[in-house]
């Protein structure tokens, strides 16, 4: 599937891309698997079960930049293993069975993917924490207008307005919390600083999306936690501030790092999870994909199974201008995960 003719006009109302390059000054740091991170640019992946003292959340990172292939190899431990996926899917299936016994009408029933049925819109409260080194834009102080545009992008993407399936989710900005703390800047994935930041700032229940914005370590664009039965202080998404609409992260400044990370927060894997074998991302209507796609490789087909690579799916690694859709199967999976993991405040 190629680039849609009207793709670049899908986010109206002041959401335009820029041509400024974002120069990263942070040194490379070893990534400790901790949340669900999204790597971006010509070659990087990640998503993993933590191995340190914080081993209670997954990490899935999006990396960008010319050195992405090396970054991919460096961050490879963050990609979920087959065992980790099996454990997560077993828990998801058990949670669905328990929930179905209590209230069958509340689910898109069938499997962890399920059948699409009409459901009332699900409104997700959003609290945005802007982590700053100082009061300058270069120090992380992005304007409210970019945050408001990011919420608009989320609502367009998850409503199906940009193409693909409507998911039933809407996002309501509750608060913008600005914090100046040089010890948390940049935000380092899996670090004690990240844990201290989230322990201090996270608000709301399992249904509240906490989004942390700032400069990130390791060329990462963002990471996020997968849902669990018990609320964890690390729960939420971390996004490079300059990847928001009108940011300076060239090719990744239309807001879809946020879209991608929220997908993980709602229990979606990467489209390339598992490669060409096994159950892949656990969704039947996303064609198998051997490895992440970068830029916008129209017509790419890396697996023998039916269907070309889903390069326009929000859960791949392509440019923001290339991705525009979720599938009906992904929508069902997210709603089922919401019902069993996040619906209770």
How is residue 224 written in tokens? 């996020």
Q: Which residues contact 260 (CB under 8 A, 6 or more apart)?
A: 38, 62, 222, 314, 315, 323
Count of structural domains within the chain: 2
Q: Containing H/E element for 92? A: helix 82-102
In this structure, are 277 and 149 located in the same domain? no
- Between 241 and 14, where is the model more confident? 241
In this structure, are 214 and 282 located in the same domain? no
pTM: 0.82
What is the Cα–Cα distance from 67 to 341, expressed in whole angstroms? 37
- Residue 233, domain extent: 120-268+328-344
Confidence of residue 248 (pLDDT cuts 50, 70, 90): very high
Give the length of the chain.
345
**What is the structure's pLDDT at 56?**
35
Confidence of residue 218 (pLDDT cuts 50, 70, 90): confident
**What is the structure's pLDDT at 98?**
86
| Residue pLDDT, tens place only, 10-41 | 444 333 332 222 222 222 222 223 344 555 44
Mean pLDDT of 127-146: 97
In this structure, are 129 and 160 located in the same domain? yes
In this structure, are 202 and 131 located in the same domain? yes
Of 170, 174, 175, the C-alpha closest to 124 is 170
CATH number of 170's domain: 3.40.390.10
* 48 DSSP assignment: B
In this structure, are 181 and 320 located in the same domain? no
| Chain mean pLDDT for the chain | 80
Mean pLDDT of 50-54: 35
150 falls within a domain: yes
Half-sphere exposure of 34 (CA within 13 A, CB side): 24
In this structure, are 203 and 251 located in the same domain? yes
User: Looking up tokens 């074998």, which residue turns up?
Assistant: 277
What is the Cα–Cα distance from 91 to 257, expressed in whole angstroms? 27
What is the Cα–Cα distance from 105 to 113, expressed in whole angstroms? 15
| Residue pLDDT, tens place only, 148-198 | 999 999 999 999 999 999 999 999 999 999 999 999 999 999 999 999 999
What is the Cα–Cα distance from 217 to 176, expressed in whole angstroms? 22
Q: How far is CA 193 from CA 61, 66, 181, in A?
A: 17, 28, 10
Asked if residues 212 and 187 have their Cβ atoms less than 8 Å apart, the reply is yes
C-alpha distance across the termini of the chain, in Å:
39
**What is the structure's pLDDT at 23?**
26
How is residue 186 written in tokens? 């940049």
In this structure, are 274 and 239 located in the same domain? no
Does the annotation mark 261 as catalytic? yes
Q: Does residue 313 sit in helix, strand or coil?
A: strand
What is the Cα–Cα distance from 279 to 319, expressed in whole angstroms? 26
What is the Cα–Cα distance from 138 to 178, expressed in whole angstroms? 15
Of 126, 134, 111, the C-alpha closest to 259 is 126
Of 80-89, 94-103, 138-147, which has the strongest mean pLDDT?
138-147
In this structure, are 303 and 334 located in the same domain? no
Share of the chain above pLDDT 90, in %: 65
In this structure, are 243 and 275 located in the same domain? no
62 falls within a domain: no
Task: Given the residues 215, 261, 289, 291, select the one marked as catalytic.
Answer: 261
């Amino acid at each position: 599937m190629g680039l849609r003719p009207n793709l670049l006009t899908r986010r109206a109302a002041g959401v335009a891309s820029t041509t400024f390059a974002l120069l990263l000054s942070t040194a490379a740091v070893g990534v400790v698997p901790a949340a669900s991170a999204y790597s971006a640019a010509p070659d990087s992946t990640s998503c993993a079960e933590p191995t340190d003292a914080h081993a209670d959340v997954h990490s899935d990172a999006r990396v960008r930049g010319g050195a992405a292939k090396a970054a991919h190899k460096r961050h490879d431990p963050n990609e979920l293993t087959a065992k980790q996926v099996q454990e997560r899917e077993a828990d998801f299936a058990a949670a669905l069975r328990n929930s179905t016994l209590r209230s069958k009408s509340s689910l898109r029933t069938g499997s962890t993917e399920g059948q699409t049925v009409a459901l009332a819109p699900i409104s997700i409260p959003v609290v945005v924490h802007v982590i700053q080194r100082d009061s300058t834009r270069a120090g992380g102080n992005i304007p409210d207008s970019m945050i408001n545009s990011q919420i608009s992008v989320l609502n367009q993407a998850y409503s199906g307005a940009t193409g693909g399936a409507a998911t039933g989710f809407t996002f309501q900005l509750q608060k913008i919390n600005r914090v100046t703390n040089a010890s948390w800047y940049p935000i380092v994935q899996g670090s004690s600083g990240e844990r201290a930041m989230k322990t201090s700032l996270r608000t709301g229940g399992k249904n509240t999306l906490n989004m942390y914005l700032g400069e990130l370590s390791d060329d990462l664009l963002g990471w996020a936690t997968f849902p669990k039965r018990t609320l964890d202080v690390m729960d939420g998404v971390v996004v490079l501030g300059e990847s928001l609409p009108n940011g300076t992260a060239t090719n990744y400044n239309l807001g879809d790092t946020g879209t991608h990370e929220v997908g993980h927060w709602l229990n979606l894997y990467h489209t390339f999870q598992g490669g060409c074998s096994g159950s892949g991302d656990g969704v039947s209507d996303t064609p198998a994909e051997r490895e992440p796609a970068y830029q916008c490789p129209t017509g790419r087909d890396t697996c023998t199974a039916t269907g070309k690579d889903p390069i326009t799916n929000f859960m791949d690694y392509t440019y923001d201008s290339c991705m525009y859709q979720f599938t009906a199967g992904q929508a069902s999976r997210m709603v089922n995960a919401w019902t069993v993991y996040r619906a209770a405040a």
